[in-house]
Amino acid sequence: MSIRLAFIAILATAVTACGGNDTPTTINDPAIQTGVFLDSAVQGLRYRTDSLNGETDSAGRFSYTSGETVSFYIGDILLGSTTAKAIVTPLDLVPGATNETDPTVTNLLRFLQSLDSDGDASNGISLNATVIANAAGQTINFNQSISNFEMNVQDTVDFLFGGSRPMVSATEAQAHFRDTLIGIATEGSNGGNDGSGGSGDPGVGDFGSLTLSGADTAVIGDSFQANYSSELVAYNVTGITWGAGLGRWLVVIAVGETPAAVSLTIVSPNDLSQYYAYKLDCEATPTPTECANISIDTATRTASFSNLTIPVDTREPTPASGAISLTGTLSWQPAGS
């Protein structure tokens, strides 16, 4: 079981029950599903599938049926198209792109974040009526270099916004979206602030610490102080998430008391492009022997790691040079407490 897939299954169940008040779909139709568009959640995107169309709501929700292609627009400006699914991000709109540093992805991120009504993408991206109206009859080429895009599109951003609106920098846009990508793997457990739902914020406190050892500790540090925790139980899956500052996340997925996966991601505080990613899949066949070094106790809400070695996550673009080990005990509290 991948952490991302566990989150998507939970999210899809949550949002299909909700629907959107501003989408012209019949939620009672079992064939119609609900997805979310995330940079942060983007409100005001026009979307079109083979059979449905509408506008994303404040949670970034759109409607689709399985197998359809969905296209997203700001006014008449096409952002891109992809196969509709529970979570769509700007990365999905750029064929062949693997991360936020792809120039076309970066250009999409800058454009969306620059047009946010309050200029704070961390609380969601909202496209106001002026932006949408001014985008009628407009087109933009996102497939160009980052520097050329800024030079060629800044005047359009000002026009759409109805006044001077400096573009969000490439570095800032990428860092924000990197947070979103990390959140997709983790925020199914903690609710988050991206409008994607979840089990609620249980509050902030100290829940233990871990000692890290391995090839990359000179860069990422040799300890992990957890100051956030939460729990979500669905489909007999327990997702436990800890975070400590920007880009420091540990996710544990378990089925009952049995660990299914552990994922550790840390972004270097000195260089946001240094995204260190590790993952151990305990549902692999054969089961890695290291999985015996994880102990989950749902009765006392503790997770213990005894020199647990986690290999580099080869699915991620990461400079991690070798496996890393965790030792220590963390506790968590029920969601909403």
d(CA 183, CA 320): 20
Please give the tally of structural domains in the chain.
2
Q: Which domain holds residue 97?
A: 3-175
Looking only at the bridges linking them, the beta strands covering 237-243 and 87-88 are unpaired
Non-local (6+) Cβ contacts of 151 within 8 A are none
pLDDT of 15 over the 50 cut: no
Q: For tokens 């920098």, name the residue.
A: 169
pLDDT of residue 230: 54
Q: What is the pLDDT of residues 239-276, one digit of tens each?
A: 677 765 556 788 888 877 788 888 888 887 666 667 88
pLDDT of residue 48: 96
Q: Which residues of 26-48 are buried (b: 16+ CB within 10 A; e: fewer)?
A: eeeeeebbbbbbbbbbbbbbbbb
224 & 131 share domain? no
3-state DSSP call for residue 256? coil
pLDDT of residue 245: 57
Residue 234 pLDDT grade (very low, low, confident, very high; cuts 50, 70, 90): very low
Does residue 190 belong to any structural domain of this protein? Answer: no
Which of the listed residues 130, 160, 175 is the one where a domain comes to its end? 175
pLDDT of residue 238: 63
Does residue 79 belong to any structural domain of this protein? Answer: yes
164 & 223 share domain? no
Residue 145 pLDDT grade (very low, low, confident, very high; cuts 50, 70, 90): very high
92 & 209 share domain? no
3-state DSSP call for residue 65? strand
101 & 212 share domain? no
pLDDT of residue 270: 62
28 & 160 share domain? yes
Which of the listed residues 142, 158, 175 is the one where a domain comes to its end? 175
Q: Which residues pair with 21 in a beta bridge?
A: none
3-state DSSP call for residue 149? helix
Q: What is the pLDDT of residues 157-176, one digit of tens each?
A: 999 999 999 999 999 998 88
Residue 96 pLDDT grade (very low, low, confident, very high; cuts 50, 70, 90): confident
Does residue 337 belong to any structural domain of this protein? Answer: no
pLDDT of 297 over the 80 cut: yes
pLDDT of residue 317: 80
Q: What is the pLDDT of residues 305-324, one digit of tens each?
A: 999 999 999 877 888 999 99
Does residue 121 belong to any structural domain of this protein? Answer: yes
160 & 237 share domain? no
Q: For tokens 């492009």, name the residue.
A: 273
Q: Which residues of 148-163 are buried (b: 16+ CB within 10 A; e: fewer)?
A: ebbeebeebbeebbee
pLDDT of 50 over the 60 cut: yes
